[in-house]
Structure 1
Amino acid sequence: MSVKECTHHKNKGRNLLRKLCAGFFILAFIVLLTFLITWAILQPKKPRFTLQDATIYSFNVSAPILLSSNFQITVSSRNPNDRIGVYYDKLDVFASYHSQQITYFTAIQPVYQGHKDTNVWSPFIYGTNVPVAPYNGASLTQDQSDGAISLLIKLNGRVRWRVGRFISGRYHIHVTCPAYIPFGNKQNSAIPGIVVGAGIKYQLSQRCSVNV
């Protein structure tokens, strides 16, 4: 008699476990389906970044392969979404040359970007006696002598998406803006510069790549 009761309880426990697992999978399927339908309706798009200009104040390579630079950039970000807002919780901008960071990080203030809104930032990017790899030091000196240098202006940070009252978790955002900046031997510059105080401003209007 006791054996039958024990078997009955085991079967009952298994049935309950199967029902719980089935309920969990059904709930997970409903949540996933709701997310996919919402995603398809909203059709979210990544923010669009543009490097508008760069003002060069100083850019000097000295021995033993140290770089001191100071320039200001203007970069814009547009939210192309009709129903999705963007929180920029953290955004750092810096310059790199041949995969090497050549300036310090400059932080951009956190901001919320509404539907179809555009934000424009003009941070200063600089570095004092930043060590440069020997091969990059030689290339920098040569580029400066030739009258132009190809840099990458990068913005890295974290964003959140807002749909109505719902706010997503944080996502990493990586923005890369190619910047072909003429300076040094300015007589060979293909892009004319405008004197701004102690610097020279170059209009770039360069579209950036964005990864989220």
Structure 2
Amino acid sequence: MPSDMIQLDQRIHPTSIVIDKETKPTIPLVPRTRTDQSTPFERPLPPFLSLARPPKNRNCCCRVICCIISLLLIFILIIGILGLVFYLVFHPKVPNYSVDRLRITDFRLNLDLSLYARFNIRVTAKNPNEKIGIYYEKRGKMSVWYKNTRLCQGYFPDFYQGPLNTTAIDVSLSGQNQYGNTLMQALQQQQQTGNIPLDLKVDQPVSIRVQSLKLGKVRFLVTCKLTVDSLSSNNLISIKASKCKIRVKL
């Protein structure tokens, strides 16, 4: 056989490969972790940054504040309950005050045009409580005012007033005002009408006594609106109208 035919027979022809179309490459459901092939930029976070925990100091402060607020609420509740029991048992009432007499012993202009005044006032205090006594403490103040100008001032005496007791108190007041000339002219004009408005103010610290127990101090703030006919000295002044109000200040 010729040599070229022999070479043709020795050629290798490619064979056909059959691929199953239903067979598909599988993809893993969970990606493989690369522990050995991590890049320099992929570093795991430290454990203290990955888990956020609230600081302990903040928790302690919140607990302390909550405890303080709870104690205050409990204290207010206890005080309210005690006050309610005290009111239901003793039925406390404020005293009644009235101005019974007003006498002017001195009312004149000085050489420096200042106005000097001296009043004597009788005030009646009534304690309507059946089981509560009142201690009138020292340094209680009483003053007489014409509009916004104080004419004179004195001190309320200290004494004890028992339950259902009525006490008359005589107080001497004196004072000096530097704008005496202007004040005297205004009072003289007002005196021509026969109605001079005056304000009597009392600031008195008191203590409450329940049976044999003396409680803490409070303040009685008394304001009496007076209308008198004149301000002539050495004469008994006629009180045309008198109305007193009392306010308790803790």
Normalised to the residue count of structure 1, the TM-score between the two structures is: 0.71
Asked whether the 8 Å contact 2:227–2:242 carries over to 1, the reply is: no
Q: C-alpha distance in 2, partners of 1:67/1:87?
A: 35
Asked whether the 8 Å contact 1:176–1:209 carries over to 2, the reply is: yes
Matched, 1:117 2:158: no
Matched, 1:74 2:122: yes
Matched, 1:92 2:141: yes
1:150-173 deviation line (CA, Å, top 9, x unaligned): 111111121111112332221121
CA spacing shift, 1:22–1:206, aligned 2, 3 Å: closer
Asked whether the 8 Å contact 1:54–1:74 carries over to 2, the reply is: yes
Q: C-alpha distance in 1, partners of 2:80/2:207?
A: 20
Q: 2:94 aligns with which of 31, 37, 46?
A: 46
Shift of 1:29: 3.4
Query: Which residue in the other structure is 1:202 paired with?
Result: 237
Q: C-alpha distance in 1, partners of 2:156/2:68?
A: 48
1:55-89 deviation line (CA, Å, top 9, x unaligned): 12232356876222222111110111111111111
Paired residue secondary structure (1:168): strand
Q: C-alpha distance in 1, partners of 2:76/2:156?
A: 38
Shift of 1:25: 5.8
Normalised to the residue count of structure 2, the TM-score between the two structures is: 0.61
Q: Percent identity?
A: 23
Asked whether the 8 Å contact 2:142–2:201 carries over to 1, the reply is: yes
Instruction: Give the letter aligned to residue 99 of structure 1.
Output: N
Instruction: Give the letter aligned to residue 95 of structure 1.
Output: V
Q: C-alpha distance in 1, partners of 2:201/2:70?
A: 47
CA spacing shift, 1:45–1:121, aligned 2, 3 Å: same
Query: Which residue in the other structure is 2:211 paired with?
Result: 164
Query: Which residue in the other structure is 1:9 paired with?
Result: none
Q: 2:156 aligns with which of 108, 124, 127?
A: 108
Query: Which residue in the other structure is 2:174 paired with?
Result: 126
Structure 1: gaps (5+ residues):
1-12, 187-197
Q: C-alpha distance in 1, partners of 2:158/2:122?
A: 17
Shift of 1:207: 3.6
> How many pairs were matched up?
184
Matched, 1:140 2:187: yes
Shift of 1:95: 0.7
Answer 1 or 2: higher relative contact order, Cα 8 Å, separation at least 6: 1
Paired residue secondary structure (2:137): strand
Q: C-alpha distance in 1, partners of 2:247/2:85?
A: 23
CA spacing shift, 1:145–1:22, aligned 2, 3 Å: closer
Paired residue secondary structure (1:75): strand
Shift of 1:99: 2.0
Shift of 1:30: 4.2
1:87-144 deviation line (CA, Å, top 9, x unaligned): 11132211111122121x31122111110111111112222x4223886554223123
Instruction: Give the letter aligned to residue 116 of structure 1.
Output: L
When Rg is computed on C-alpha atoms for both structures, the one with the higher figure is: 2
1:18-29 alignment runs, 5 A limit: 29=77
Asked whether the 8 Å contact 1:102–1:132 carries over to 2, the reply is: no
Matched, 1:60 2:95: no
Instruction: Give the letter aligned to residue 202 of structure 1.
Output: I
